[in-house]
Structure 1
Amino acid sequence: MKTFITRTISALFFVAIMLGGILYNSFTFFLLFFVINFFALLEYLRLVRKIDPEYEQISSWHRYGLMIASCGIMMAFSGGQFGGDSFSLGFIGWALAIVFLMVLPLGEILMNNTFSLKNMGYSALGLIYVTVSIGMLVDMRLNDVLQFSLPSGQPIGYLVPLLLIIFIWINDTMAYIVGSLIGRTPFFPSISPKKTTEGSVGGMVLAVATAGVFGWYWGKSVLAFEHWLALAGIAAIFGTIGDLLESKLKRLAGVKDSGNMMPGHGGFLDRFDSLLLASPFAWLYVYFFLH
Protein backbone atom coordinates (compact mmCIF):
# COMPACT_ATOMS: atom_id res chain seq x y z
CA MET A 1 0.00 0.00 0.00
CA LYS A 2 2.84 2.37 0.87
CA THR A 3 4.51 1.64 -2.49
CA PHE A 4 1.26 2.34 -4.34
CA ILE A 5 0.82 5.69 -2.56
CA THR A 6 4.45 6.64 -3.31
CA ARG A 7 4.04 5.74 -7.00
CA THR A 8 0.77 7.68 -7.24
CA ILE A 9 2.15 10.83 -5.61
CA SER A 10 5.29 10.80 -7.75
CA ALA A 11 3.20 10.19 -10.89
CA LEU A 12 0.91 13.14 -10.13
CA PHE A 13 3.92 15.36 -9.47
CA PHE A 14 5.47 14.20 -12.76
CA VAL A 15 2.28 14.94 -14.73
CA ALA A 16 1.99 18.41 -13.16
CA ILE A 17 5.61 19.28 -14.06
CA MET A 18 5.17 17.97 -17.62
CA LEU A 19 1.91 19.80 -18.31
CA GLY A 20 3.19 23.02 -16.74
CA GLY A 21 6.37 22.97 -18.80
CA ILE A 22 4.63 22.07 -22.05
CA LEU A 23 1.68 24.44 -21.83
CA TYR A 24 2.91 27.54 -19.96
CA ASN A 25 5.07 29.11 -22.68
CA SER A 26 7.79 28.31 -25.21
CA PHE A 27 10.65 28.91 -22.78
CA THR A 28 9.30 26.54 -20.10
CA PHE A 29 8.86 23.95 -22.86
CA PHE A 30 12.49 24.38 -23.91
CA LEU A 31 13.73 24.35 -20.30
CA LEU A 32 11.73 21.21 -19.47
CA PHE A 33 13.17 19.20 -22.35
CA PHE A 34 16.64 20.69 -21.90
CA VAL A 35 16.67 19.14 -18.41
CA ILE A 36 15.17 15.87 -19.67
CA ASN A 37 17.86 15.64 -22.35
CA PHE A 38 20.65 16.26 -19.84
CA PHE A 39 19.64 13.53 -17.41
CA ALA A 40 18.48 11.06 -20.07
CA LEU A 41 21.90 11.32 -21.75
CA LEU A 42 23.63 10.76 -18.40
CA GLU A 43 21.55 7.61 -17.92
CA TYR A 44 22.39 6.41 -21.43
CA LEU A 45 26.12 6.88 -20.73
CA ARG A 46 25.72 4.99 -17.44
CA LEU A 47 24.13 2.08 -19.31
CA VAL A 48 26.94 2.07 -21.88
CA ARG A 49 29.55 1.89 -19.11
CA LYS A 50 27.81 -1.18 -17.72
CA ILE A 51 27.50 -2.77 -21.17
CA ASP A 52 31.13 -2.11 -22.12
CA PRO A 53 33.50 -1.43 -19.18
CA GLU A 54 36.04 -0.01 -21.63
CA TYR A 55 33.86 3.08 -21.91
CA GLU A 56 34.67 3.78 -18.26
CA GLN A 57 38.17 4.68 -19.40
CA ILE A 58 37.20 7.75 -21.43
CA SER A 59 38.90 10.95 -20.35
CA SER A 60 37.24 13.70 -18.35
CA TRP A 61 37.56 15.88 -21.44
CA HIS A 62 35.50 13.36 -23.41
CA ARG A 63 32.87 12.99 -20.68
CA TYR A 64 32.33 16.69 -19.94
CA GLY A 65 32.85 17.80 -23.54
CA LEU A 66 30.13 15.42 -24.65
CA MET A 67 27.64 16.89 -22.17
CA ILE A 68 28.52 20.45 -23.22
CA ALA A 69 28.09 19.50 -26.88
CA SER A 70 24.71 17.97 -26.03
CA CYS A 71 23.59 21.13 -24.26
CA GLY A 72 24.83 23.16 -27.23
CA ILE A 73 22.81 21.07 -29.67
CA MET A 74 19.68 21.53 -27.57
CA MET A 75 20.26 25.29 -27.49
CA ALA A 76 20.84 25.29 -31.26
CA PHE A 77 17.40 23.75 -31.80
CA SER A 78 15.86 26.83 -30.15
CA GLY A 79 16.91 28.89 -33.19
CA GLY A 80 16.37 32.61 -32.77
CA GLN A 81 13.48 32.32 -30.33
CA PHE A 82 15.35 33.50 -27.24
CA GLY A 83 17.52 36.58 -27.57
CA GLY A 84 18.25 39.13 -30.27
CA ASP A 85 18.40 38.59 -34.01
CA SER A 86 22.19 38.55 -34.14
CA PHE A 87 22.95 36.94 -30.77
CA SER A 88 20.45 34.38 -29.57
CA LEU A 89 20.50 31.26 -27.43
CA GLY A 90 20.42 29.25 -30.64
CA PHE A 91 23.53 31.04 -31.96
CA ILE A 92 25.42 30.29 -28.73
CA GLY A 93 24.27 26.69 -28.96
CA TRP A 94 25.51 26.27 -32.53
CA ALA A 95 28.89 27.72 -31.53
CA LEU A 96 29.23 25.37 -28.54
CA ALA A 97 28.07 22.34 -30.50
CA ILE A 98 30.36 22.93 -33.47
CA VAL A 99 33.43 23.73 -31.35
CA PHE A 100 33.07 20.75 -29.03
CA LEU A 101 32.08 18.27 -31.74
CA MET A 102 35.14 19.30 -33.79
CA VAL A 103 37.61 19.51 -30.92
CA LEU A 104 36.32 16.53 -28.92
CA PRO A 105 38.01 13.82 -31.06
CA LEU A 106 41.29 15.78 -31.08
CA GLY A 107 41.21 16.23 -27.31
CA GLU A 108 40.46 12.54 -26.85
CA ILE A 109 43.50 11.62 -28.96
CA LEU A 110 45.80 13.96 -27.00
CA MET A 111 44.49 13.23 -23.49
CA ASN A 112 43.85 9.50 -23.66
CA ASN A 113 46.59 6.96 -24.27
CA THR A 114 44.06 4.41 -25.50
CA PHE A 115 42.01 6.31 -28.07
CA SER A 116 39.05 4.24 -29.22
CA LEU A 117 36.79 4.85 -32.19
CA LYS A 118 34.33 2.50 -30.51
CA ASN A 119 34.02 4.83 -27.52
CA MET A 120 33.57 7.82 -29.80
CA GLY A 121 30.85 5.84 -31.55
CA TYR A 122 29.04 5.20 -28.27
CA SER A 123 29.07 8.93 -27.56
CA ALA A 124 27.90 9.90 -31.04
CA LEU A 125 25.09 7.35 -30.80
CA GLY A 126 24.01 8.90 -27.50
CA LEU A 127 23.81 12.36 -29.08
CA ILE A 128 21.68 11.01 -31.92
CA TYR A 129 19.50 8.73 -29.80
CA VAL A 130 18.80 11.21 -27.01
CA THR A 131 19.76 14.79 -27.87
CA VAL A 132 18.78 15.03 -31.53
CA SER A 133 15.49 13.23 -30.85
CA ILE A 134 14.52 15.60 -28.04
CA GLY A 135 15.85 18.53 -30.06
CA MET A 136 13.40 17.69 -32.85
CA LEU A 137 10.59 17.85 -30.30
CA VAL A 138 11.77 21.33 -29.29
CA ASP A 139 12.01 22.30 -32.97
CA MET A 140 8.36 21.31 -33.50
CA ARG A 141 7.41 23.61 -30.64
CA LEU A 142 9.56 26.60 -31.58
CA ASN A 143 10.00 26.50 -35.35
CA ASP A 144 7.60 28.95 -36.99
CA VAL A 145 7.29 26.70 -40.05
CA LEU A 146 5.89 23.90 -37.88
CA GLN A 147 3.48 26.01 -35.83
CA PHE A 148 -0.27 25.41 -35.56
CA SER A 149 -3.04 27.81 -34.66
CA LEU A 150 -6.58 27.58 -33.41
CA PRO A 151 -9.35 29.02 -35.61
CA SER A 152 -9.10 32.13 -33.45
CA GLY A 153 -5.48 32.52 -34.56
CA GLN A 154 -3.99 31.63 -31.17
CA PRO A 155 -0.74 29.72 -31.78
CA ILE A 156 -0.52 26.22 -30.30
CA GLY A 157 2.98 25.07 -31.24
CA TYR A 158 2.88 22.57 -28.40
CA LEU A 159 0.12 20.58 -30.17
CA VAL A 160 2.14 17.80 -31.84
CA PRO A 161 4.54 17.20 -28.90
CA LEU A 162 1.59 17.09 -26.51
CA LEU A 163 -0.37 14.74 -28.79
CA LEU A 164 2.64 12.44 -29.10
CA ILE A 165 2.95 12.17 -25.32
CA ILE A 166 -0.79 11.56 -24.92
CA PHE A 167 -0.92 8.94 -27.67
CA ILE A 168 2.12 7.15 -26.24
CA TRP A 169 0.48 7.12 -22.81
CA ILE A 170 -2.78 5.75 -24.27
CA ASN A 171 -0.84 3.09 -26.19
CA ASP A 172 1.10 1.99 -23.11
CA THR A 173 -1.97 1.98 -20.88
CA MET A 174 -4.16 0.08 -23.35
CA ALA A 175 -1.35 -2.39 -24.10
CA TYR A 176 -1.06 -3.14 -20.39
CA ILE A 177 -4.83 -3.57 -19.96
CA VAL A 178 -5.33 -5.70 -23.09
CA GLY A 179 -2.25 -7.76 -22.30
CA SER A 180 -3.46 -8.38 -18.75
CA LEU A 181 -6.88 -9.50 -19.98
CA ILE A 182 -6.16 -11.60 -23.07
CA GLY A 183 -2.39 -11.58 -23.55
CA ARG A 184 -1.02 -15.06 -24.25
CA THR A 185 1.66 -14.76 -26.93
CA PRO A 186 5.06 -13.28 -25.93
CA PHE A 187 5.98 -10.32 -28.14
CA PHE A 188 9.75 -10.18 -27.67
CA PRO A 189 10.46 -12.53 -24.75
CA SER A 190 14.24 -12.13 -25.06
CA ILE A 191 13.92 -8.37 -24.53
CA SER A 192 10.74 -7.77 -22.54
CA PRO A 193 9.21 -11.00 -21.18
CA LYS A 194 6.05 -9.31 -19.90
CA LYS A 195 4.97 -7.83 -23.24
CA THR A 196 2.48 -9.82 -25.30
CA THR A 197 1.55 -9.61 -28.96
CA GLU A 198 -2.11 -9.20 -28.07
CA GLY A 199 -1.34 -6.36 -25.68
CA SER A 200 0.99 -4.55 -28.07
CA VAL A 201 -1.39 -4.78 -31.04
CA GLY A 202 -4.37 -3.91 -28.85
CA GLY A 203 -2.60 -0.85 -27.49
CA MET A 204 -1.75 0.39 -30.99
CA VAL A 205 -5.27 -0.16 -32.32
CA LEU A 206 -6.93 1.53 -29.35
CA ALA A 207 -4.52 4.48 -29.44
CA VAL A 208 -5.31 5.09 -33.12
CA ALA A 209 -9.03 4.53 -32.52
CA THR A 210 -9.05 7.03 -29.64
CA ALA A 211 -7.26 9.60 -31.77
CA GLY A 212 -9.71 8.96 -34.59
CA VAL A 213 -12.78 9.48 -32.41
CA PHE A 214 -11.41 12.67 -30.89
CA GLY A 215 -10.14 13.96 -34.24
CA TRP A 216 -13.43 13.25 -36.02
CA TYR A 217 -15.72 14.89 -33.48
CA TRP A 218 -13.61 17.67 -31.96
CA GLY A 219 -10.21 18.02 -33.60
CA LYS A 220 -10.87 18.63 -37.30
CA SER A 221 -10.79 22.40 -36.86
CA VAL A 222 -7.13 22.16 -35.84
CA LEU A 223 -5.86 19.10 -37.74
CA ALA A 224 -7.39 17.12 -40.58
CA PHE A 225 -8.79 13.75 -39.54
CA GLU A 226 -6.09 11.73 -41.31
CA HIS A 227 -3.35 13.59 -39.42
CA TRP A 228 -4.84 12.56 -36.08
CA LEU A 229 -4.67 8.92 -37.21
CA ALA A 230 -1.15 9.27 -38.62
CA LEU A 231 0.30 10.91 -35.51
CA ALA A 232 -1.33 8.32 -33.27
CA GLY A 233 0.07 5.56 -35.49
CA ILE A 234 3.56 7.06 -35.31
CA ALA A 235 3.35 7.35 -31.53
CA ALA A 236 2.05 3.80 -31.11
CA ILE A 237 4.35 2.00 -33.55
CA PHE A 238 7.62 3.84 -32.99
CA GLY A 239 6.86 4.37 -29.31
CA THR A 240 6.61 0.60 -28.88
CA ILE A 241 9.87 0.09 -30.76
CA GLY A 242 11.53 2.76 -28.62
CA ASP A 243 10.39 0.99 -25.46
CA LEU A 244 11.81 -2.31 -26.72
CA LEU A 245 15.09 -0.63 -27.68
CA GLU A 246 15.59 0.81 -24.20
CA SER A 247 14.60 -2.53 -22.64
CA LYS A 248 17.32 -4.17 -24.73
CA LEU A 249 19.89 -1.64 -23.50
CA LYS A 250 18.89 -2.30 -19.88
CA ARG A 251 19.06 -6.05 -20.41
CA LEU A 252 22.54 -5.76 -21.89
CA ALA A 253 23.55 -3.56 -18.94
CA GLY A 254 21.99 -5.97 -16.43
CA VAL A 255 19.79 -3.36 -14.72
CA LYS A 256 16.06 -3.12 -14.05
CA ASP A 257 15.74 0.66 -14.37
CA SER A 258 17.85 3.25 -16.16
CA GLY A 259 17.77 5.50 -13.08
CA ASN A 260 15.71 6.57 -10.09
CA MET A 261 14.16 9.87 -11.21
CA MET A 262 10.76 8.95 -9.73
CA PRO A 263 10.17 6.54 -6.85
CA GLY A 264 8.63 3.43 -8.35
CA HIS A 265 8.82 4.69 -11.94
CA GLY A 266 12.49 4.40 -12.91
CA GLY A 267 14.64 6.98 -14.64
CA PHE A 268 14.40 9.53 -17.41
CA LEU A 269 15.07 6.97 -20.15
CA ASP A 270 12.39 4.71 -18.68
CA ARG A 271 9.85 7.54 -18.90
CA PHE A 272 10.83 8.92 -22.30
CA ASP A 273 12.15 5.91 -24.23
CA SER A 274 9.06 5.79 -26.47
CA LEU A 275 9.20 9.52 -27.15
CA LEU A 276 12.87 9.33 -28.18
CA LEU A 277 12.05 7.18 -31.19
CA ALA A 278 8.61 8.61 -32.00
CA SER A 279 9.65 12.29 -32.11
CA PRO A 280 12.00 12.10 -35.16
CA PHE A 281 9.34 10.32 -37.23
CA ALA A 282 6.70 12.80 -36.07
CA TRP A 283 9.04 15.66 -37.04
CA LEU A 284 9.48 14.18 -40.51
CA TYR A 285 5.73 13.72 -40.88
CA VAL A 286 4.93 17.26 -39.75
CA TYR A 287 7.63 18.81 -41.94
CA PHE A 288 6.82 16.93 -45.13
CA PHE A 289 3.08 16.25 -44.88
CA LEU A 290 1.53 18.91 -42.67
CA HIS A 291 3.35 21.94 -44.12
Structure 2
Amino acid sequence: MALNVKTLKTRSLTAAVFVVVMLTGLLWNHWSFFVLFSIVHFGCWAEYQKLIGLIDPDYTTITPFHKYGVKLAGWCVMLYFTNDQFSIFGLPLHEIGWFLGLLFIFILPIVELLFAKEIKPKNIGYSALGLVYISLSWGLMMDLRCSFIPQSREGVLINPDSWQKLMPIALIVSIWINDTMAYIVGSLIGKTPFSKISPKKTWEGTIGGAILCVVVIALLGNFTAPAYGHSVIHWIFIAAIAAVVGTGGDLLESKLKRVANVKDSGHIMPGHGGFLDRFDSLLLAIPFVWLYIQLALK
Protein backbone atom coordinates (compact mmCIF):
# COMPACT_ATOMS: atom_id res chain seq x y z
CA MET A 1 0.00 0.00 0.00
CA ALA A 2 2.87 2.36 0.85
CA LEU A 3 4.29 1.81 -2.60
CA ASN A 4 0.96 2.64 -4.18
CA VAL A 5 0.67 5.84 -2.15
CA LYS A 6 4.21 6.83 -3.13
CA THR A 7 3.45 6.11 -6.79
CA LEU A 8 0.24 8.13 -6.58
CA LYS A 9 2.09 11.08 -5.07
CA THR A 10 4.75 10.90 -7.78
CA ARG A 11 2.17 10.78 -10.55
CA SER A 12 0.15 13.61 -9.03
CA LEU A 13 3.17 15.87 -8.59
CA THR A 14 4.37 15.15 -12.12
CA ALA A 15 0.89 15.83 -13.50
CA ALA A 16 0.69 19.14 -11.63
CA VAL A 17 4.07 20.28 -12.95
CA PHE A 18 3.10 19.15 -16.45
CA VAL A 19 -0.15 21.17 -16.36
CA VAL A 20 1.64 24.30 -15.11
CA VAL A 21 4.32 24.04 -17.80
CA MET A 22 1.74 23.43 -20.54
CA LEU A 23 -0.53 26.30 -19.47
CA THR A 24 2.43 28.67 -19.21
CA GLY A 25 3.61 27.77 -22.68
CA LEU A 26 0.14 27.90 -24.19
CA LEU A 27 -1.10 31.12 -22.59
CA TRP A 28 1.86 33.39 -21.90
CA ASN A 29 2.65 34.62 -25.41
CA HIS A 30 3.55 33.43 -28.89
CA TRP A 31 7.21 32.90 -27.96
CA SER A 32 6.40 30.70 -24.97
CA PHE A 33 4.17 28.64 -27.29
CA PHE A 34 7.03 28.25 -29.76
CA VAL A 35 9.58 27.34 -27.09
CA LEU A 36 7.20 24.83 -25.47
CA PHE A 37 6.56 22.89 -28.65
CA SER A 38 10.17 23.16 -29.81
CA ILE A 39 11.17 21.34 -26.61
CA VAL A 40 8.40 18.80 -27.15
CA HIS A 41 9.49 18.38 -30.78
CA PHE A 42 13.07 17.48 -29.88
CA GLY A 43 11.90 15.30 -26.98
CA CYS A 44 9.59 13.32 -29.27
CA TRP A 45 12.41 12.91 -31.80
CA ALA A 46 14.84 11.56 -29.19
CA GLU A 47 12.30 8.95 -28.08
CA TYR A 48 11.27 8.09 -31.63
CA GLN A 49 14.87 7.40 -32.65
CA LYS A 50 15.35 5.30 -29.52
CA LEU A 51 12.23 3.22 -30.30
CA ILE A 52 13.21 2.72 -33.94
CA GLY A 53 16.70 1.69 -32.81
CA LEU A 54 15.17 -0.98 -30.57
CA ILE A 55 12.86 -2.17 -33.36
CA ASP A 56 15.63 -2.21 -35.98
CA PRO A 57 19.18 -2.09 -34.56
CA ASP A 58 20.50 -0.99 -37.97
CA TYR A 59 19.05 2.46 -37.27
CA THR A 60 21.52 2.90 -34.41
CA THR A 61 24.33 2.88 -36.97
CA ILE A 62 23.30 6.14 -38.64
CA THR A 63 25.91 8.88 -38.55
CA PRO A 64 25.68 11.61 -35.88
CA PHE A 65 25.03 14.10 -38.67
CA HIS A 66 22.03 12.07 -39.79
CA LYS A 67 20.81 11.58 -36.23
CA TYR A 68 20.89 15.26 -35.24
CA GLY A 69 20.55 16.75 -38.70
CA VAL A 70 17.11 15.21 -39.26
CA LYS A 71 15.93 16.67 -35.94
CA LEU A 72 17.08 20.14 -36.99
CA ALA A 73 15.53 19.66 -40.42
CA GLY A 74 12.27 18.81 -38.68
CA TRP A 75 12.57 21.91 -36.52
CA CYS A 76 12.88 23.94 -39.72
CA VAL A 77 9.38 22.70 -40.57
CA MET A 78 8.16 24.30 -37.34
CA LEU A 79 10.00 27.51 -38.19
CA TYR A 80 8.38 27.56 -41.62
CA PHE A 81 4.87 27.50 -40.15
CA THR A 82 5.41 30.55 -37.94
CA ASN A 83 4.24 34.02 -38.98
CA ASP A 84 5.64 37.56 -38.95
CA GLN A 85 5.23 37.77 -35.15
CA PHE A 86 8.28 35.53 -34.93
CA SER A 87 11.45 37.28 -36.05
CA ILE A 88 15.06 37.58 -34.88
CA PHE A 89 17.08 40.67 -35.78
CA GLY A 90 14.42 41.54 -38.32
CA LEU A 91 14.54 38.13 -40.00
CA PRO A 92 11.21 36.24 -39.93
CA LEU A 93 11.58 32.70 -38.59
CA HIS A 94 9.47 31.26 -41.40
CA GLU A 95 11.99 32.54 -43.95
CA ILE A 96 14.87 31.17 -41.88
CA GLY A 97 13.07 27.83 -41.71
CA TRP A 98 12.53 27.81 -45.48
CA PHE A 99 16.17 28.48 -46.38
CA LEU A 100 17.65 26.23 -43.69
CA GLY A 101 15.25 23.47 -44.73
CA LEU A 102 16.43 23.70 -48.34
CA LEU A 103 20.02 23.65 -47.11
CA PHE A 104 19.44 20.48 -45.12
CA ILE A 105 17.76 18.82 -48.11
CA PHE A 106 20.95 19.29 -50.13
CA ILE A 107 23.54 18.76 -47.39
CA LEU A 108 22.13 15.73 -45.56
CA PRO A 109 22.35 13.32 -48.55
CA ILE A 110 25.84 14.55 -49.48
CA VAL A 111 27.24 14.12 -45.95
CA GLU A 112 25.56 10.73 -45.67
CA LEU A 113 27.27 9.63 -48.89
CA LEU A 114 30.65 10.89 -47.69
CA PHE A 115 30.70 9.56 -44.14
CA ALA A 116 28.30 6.63 -43.93
CA LYS A 117 29.90 3.24 -44.53
CA GLU A 118 26.74 2.05 -46.19
CA ILE A 119 23.63 3.90 -47.36
CA LYS A 120 20.55 2.08 -46.15
CA PRO A 121 17.30 3.36 -47.70
CA LYS A 122 15.27 1.89 -44.82
CA ASN A 123 17.09 4.12 -42.33
CA ILE A 124 16.35 7.14 -44.50
CA GLY A 125 12.75 5.94 -44.60
CA TYR A 126 12.55 5.74 -40.80
CA SER A 127 13.77 9.33 -40.55
CA ALA A 128 11.36 10.46 -43.26
CA LEU A 129 8.48 8.89 -41.34
CA GLY A 130 9.64 10.75 -38.25
CA LEU A 131 9.51 14.03 -40.15
CA VAL A 132 5.89 13.35 -41.08
CA TYR A 133 4.83 11.83 -37.76
CA ILE A 134 6.51 14.38 -35.48
CA SER A 135 7.82 17.49 -37.25
CA LEU A 136 4.92 18.04 -39.64
CA SER A 137 2.41 17.65 -36.81
CA TRP A 138 4.12 20.22 -34.60
CA GLY A 139 4.56 22.47 -37.61
CA LEU A 140 0.82 22.35 -38.23
CA MET A 141 0.25 23.08 -34.54
CA MET A 142 2.29 26.25 -35.02
CA ASP A 143 0.10 27.05 -38.01
CA LEU A 144 -3.03 26.67 -35.88
CA ARG A 145 -1.52 29.18 -33.45
CA CYS A 146 -0.23 31.61 -36.07
CA SER A 147 -2.46 31.76 -39.11
CA PHE A 148 -6.06 31.19 -38.09
CA ILE A 149 -8.04 34.43 -37.96
CA PRO A 150 -11.65 34.54 -36.72
CA GLN A 151 -14.51 35.80 -38.82
CA SER A 152 -15.26 39.41 -38.04
CA ARG A 153 -18.70 40.24 -36.70
CA GLU A 154 -20.34 43.61 -36.55
CA GLY A 155 -20.34 45.12 -33.07
CA VAL A 156 -18.00 42.45 -31.65
CA LEU A 157 -14.40 43.30 -30.75
CA ILE A 158 -12.19 40.27 -31.37
CA ASN A 159 -8.66 39.94 -30.06
CA PRO A 160 -6.85 37.86 -32.72
CA ASP A 161 -4.21 36.68 -30.23
CA SER A 162 -6.89 35.31 -27.89
CA TRP A 163 -8.53 33.44 -30.74
CA GLN A 164 -5.23 32.03 -31.98
CA LYS A 165 -4.63 30.62 -28.50
CA LEU A 166 -8.13 29.18 -28.42
CA MET A 167 -7.82 26.74 -31.32
CA PRO A 168 -4.72 24.84 -30.07
CA ILE A 169 -6.12 24.83 -26.53
CA ALA A 170 -9.46 23.47 -27.75
CA LEU A 171 -7.65 20.65 -29.54
CA ILE A 172 -5.50 19.80 -26.52
CA VAL A 173 -8.49 19.92 -24.17
CA SER A 174 -10.42 17.64 -26.54
CA ILE A 175 -7.64 15.06 -26.39
CA TRP A 176 -7.36 15.37 -22.62
CA ILE A 177 -11.12 14.99 -22.06
CA ASN A 178 -11.29 12.02 -24.42
CA ASP A 179 -8.38 10.21 -22.74
CA THR A 180 -9.57 10.96 -19.20
CA MET A 181 -13.21 10.07 -19.80
CA ALA A 182 -12.29 6.93 -21.75
CA TYR A 183 -10.22 5.78 -18.76
CA ILE A 184 -12.96 6.58 -16.24
CA VAL A 185 -15.81 5.06 -18.26
CA GLY A 186 -13.70 2.04 -19.13
CA SER A 187 -12.79 1.52 -15.47
CA LEU A 188 -16.45 1.70 -14.41
CA ILE A 189 -18.30 -0.26 -17.08
CA GLY A 190 -15.69 -1.45 -19.58
CA LYS A 191 -15.94 -5.14 -20.48
CA THR A 192 -15.35 -5.52 -24.22
CA PRO A 193 -11.67 -5.33 -25.30
CA PHE A 194 -11.06 -2.68 -27.94
CA SER A 195 -7.72 -3.77 -29.38
CA LYS A 196 -5.04 -6.38 -28.80
CA ILE A 197 -2.49 -3.59 -29.13
CA SER A 198 -3.75 -1.98 -25.93
CA PRO A 199 -5.53 -4.65 -23.84
CA LYS A 200 -6.67 -2.18 -21.17
CA LYS A 201 -8.80 -0.23 -23.66
CA THR A 202 -12.45 -1.21 -23.98
CA TRP A 203 -15.16 -0.36 -26.47
CA GLU A 204 -17.30 1.05 -23.69
CA GLY A 205 -14.53 3.36 -22.53
CA THR A 206 -13.56 4.43 -26.05
CA ILE A 207 -17.12 5.25 -27.10
CA GLY A 208 -17.96 6.88 -23.76
CA GLY A 209 -14.82 9.01 -23.88
CA ALA A 210 -15.58 10.20 -27.40
CA ILE A 211 -19.20 11.07 -26.59
CA LEU A 212 -18.29 12.99 -23.43
CA CYS A 213 -15.50 14.77 -25.29
CA VAL A 214 -17.92 15.99 -27.97
CA VAL A 215 -20.53 17.03 -25.40
CA VAL A 216 -18.10 19.03 -23.25
CA ILE A 217 -16.43 20.77 -26.21
CA ALA A 218 -19.84 21.57 -27.70
CA LEU A 219 -20.88 23.20 -24.42
CA LEU A 220 -17.64 25.18 -24.26
CA GLY A 221 -17.93 26.10 -27.92
CA ASN A 222 -21.40 27.46 -27.28
CA PHE A 223 -19.81 30.28 -25.27
CA THR A 224 -17.30 31.19 -27.97
CA ALA A 225 -19.54 30.86 -31.02
CA PRO A 226 -21.44 34.15 -30.51
CA ALA A 227 -18.20 36.13 -30.23
CA TYR A 228 -16.13 34.45 -32.92
CA GLY A 229 -18.76 33.81 -35.53
CA HIS A 230 -18.43 30.04 -35.91
CA SER A 231 -21.23 27.55 -35.43
CA VAL A 232 -21.07 25.08 -32.55
CA ILE A 233 -21.22 22.33 -35.17
CA HIS A 234 -17.58 23.07 -36.04
CA TRP A 235 -16.51 22.52 -32.46
CA ILE A 236 -18.42 19.24 -32.47
CA PHE A 237 -16.57 18.08 -35.60
CA ILE A 238 -13.21 19.16 -34.19
CA ALA A 239 -13.86 17.28 -30.94
CA ALA A 240 -15.05 14.18 -32.81
CA ILE A 241 -11.98 14.19 -35.06
CA ALA A 242 -9.70 14.66 -32.06
CA ALA A 243 -11.38 11.80 -30.17
CA VAL A 244 -11.39 9.29 -33.03
CA VAL A 245 -7.99 10.06 -34.57
CA GLY A 246 -6.44 10.67 -31.15
CA THR A 247 -7.38 7.14 -30.13
CA GLY A 248 -5.65 5.93 -33.29
CA GLY A 249 -2.56 7.91 -32.31
CA ASP A 250 -2.52 6.24 -28.91
CA LEU A 251 -2.76 2.80 -30.51
CA LEU A 252 0.00 3.64 -33.00
CA GLU A 253 2.44 4.58 -30.26
CA SER A 254 1.40 1.55 -28.22
CA LYS A 255 2.22 -0.63 -31.23
CA LEU A 256 5.66 0.97 -31.56
CA LYS A 257 6.36 0.33 -27.87
CA ARG A 258 5.15 -3.24 -28.08
CA VAL A 259 7.36 -4.01 -31.07
CA ALA A 260 10.28 -2.27 -29.30
CA ASN A 261 9.42 -4.28 -26.15
CA VAL A 262 9.32 -1.28 -23.80
CA LYS A 263 6.64 -0.07 -21.41
CA ASP A 264 7.21 3.67 -21.87
CA SER A 265 8.80 5.67 -24.66
CA GLY A 266 10.83 7.65 -22.11
CA HIS A 267 11.12 8.67 -18.48
CA ILE A 268 11.08 12.46 -18.61
CA MET A 269 7.86 12.51 -16.54
CA PRO A 270 8.02 10.09 -13.56
CA GLY A 271 4.91 7.96 -13.44
CA HIS A 272 3.71 9.17 -16.84
CA GLY A 273 6.40 8.07 -19.27
CA GLY A 274 7.94 10.20 -21.97
CA PHE A 275 7.05 12.82 -24.54
CA LEU A 276 5.51 10.36 -27.00
CA ASP A 277 3.48 8.80 -24.19
CA ARG A 278 1.97 12.20 -23.38
CA PHE A 279 1.50 13.53 -26.90
CA ASP A 280 0.83 10.41 -29.00
CA SER A 281 -2.87 11.17 -29.45
CA LEU A 282 -2.23 14.82 -30.24
CA LEU A 283 0.46 14.06 -32.82
CA LEU A 284 -1.94 12.14 -35.03
CA ALA A 285 -4.97 14.36 -34.39
CA ILE A 286 -3.30 17.67 -35.32
CA PRO A 287 -3.06 17.09 -39.11
CA PHE A 288 -6.68 15.94 -39.37
CA VAL A 289 -8.04 18.85 -37.33
CA TRP A 290 -5.83 21.24 -39.31
CA LEU A 291 -7.23 19.81 -42.57
CA TYR A 292 -10.81 20.19 -41.35
CA ILE A 293 -10.15 23.83 -40.44
CA GLN A 294 -8.64 24.52 -43.86
CA LEU A 295 -11.66 23.02 -45.61
CA ALA A 296 -14.47 24.19 -43.36
CA LEU A 297 -13.42 27.39 -41.61
CA LYS A 298 -11.03 29.24 -43.87
How high is the TM-score relative to the length of structure 1? 0.94
Aligned partner of 1:107 among 108, 111, 121: 111
Residue 271, structure 1, aligned to residue 278, structure 2: yes
User: 1:226 Cα deviation (Å)?
Assistant: 0.4
Q: Distance in 2 between matches of 1:148 and 1:264?
A: 39
Aligned partner of 1:132 among 108, 131, 136: 136
SS in 1 for 2:119: coil
Aligned partner of 1:153 among 150, 153, 158: 158
Q: 2:249 is matched with which residue?
A: 242
User: 1:84 Cα deviation (Å)?
Assistant: 7.0
Q: 1:253 is matched with which residue?
A: 260
Aligned pair count reads 287
Residue 63, structure 1, aligned to residue 67, structure 2: yes
Q: 1:117 is matched with which residue?
A: 121
Aligned partner of 1:228 among 225, 235, 238: 235
Aligned residue type for 2:157 = S
How high is the TM-score relative to the length of structure 2? 0.92
User: 1:80 Cα deviation (Å)?
Assistant: 2.8
Q: Distance in 1 between matches of 2:104 and 2:257?
A: 29
Q: Distance in 1 between matches of 2:221 and 2:130?
A: 35
Q: Distance in 2 between matches of 1:159 and 1:149?
A: 14
Residue 215, structure 1, aligned to residue 221, structure 2: yes
CA contact under 8 A between 1:10 and 1:262: conserved in structure 2?
yes
Kindly provide the CA deviation profile for residues 75-124 of structure 1, in whole angstroms up to 9, marking residues without a partner as x: 12213322279722221121221111222122212211211010000001
SS in 2 for 1:256: coil
CA contact under 8 A between 1:79 and 1:91: conserved in structure 2?
no
Aligned partner of 1:40 among 25, 37, 44: 44
Q: 1:193 is matched with which residue?
A: 199
CA contact under 8 A between 1:141 and 1:147: conserved in structure 2?
no
Q: 1:262 is matched with which residue?
A: 269
Q: 2:297 is matched with which residue?
A: 290
Q: 1:80 to 1:215 in 2, by over 3 A?
A: closer
Q: For structure 1, which segment, 59-68 or 75-84, has the greater mean C-alpha deviation from structure 2 after superposition? A: 75-84
SS in 1 for 2:200: strand
Q: 1:86 to 1:28 in 2, by over 3 A?
A: closer
CA contact under 8 A between 1:78 and 1:139: conserved in structure 2?
yes
Residue 78, structure 1, aligned to residue 103, structure 2: no
Q: 1:50 is matched with which residue?
A: 54
CA contact under 8 A between 1:140 and 1:147: conserved in structure 2?
no
Stretches of structure 2 that go unaligned for 5 or more consecutive residues are: none
CA contact under 8 A between 1:43 and 1:258: conserved in structure 2?
yes
Stretches of structure 1 that go unaligned for 5 or more consecutive residues are: none
Q: Distance in 1 between matches of 2:225 and 2:266?
A: 40
Kindly provide the CA deviation profile for residues 180-200 of structure 1, in whole angstroms up to 9, marking residues without a partner as x: 1111111112x1111111111
Identical columns (%) = 49
Kindly provide the CA deviation profile for residues 221-274 of structure 1, in whole angstroms up to 9, marking residues without a partner as x: 233110110110011011100000000001011100000111100000000001
SS in 2 for 1:184: coil
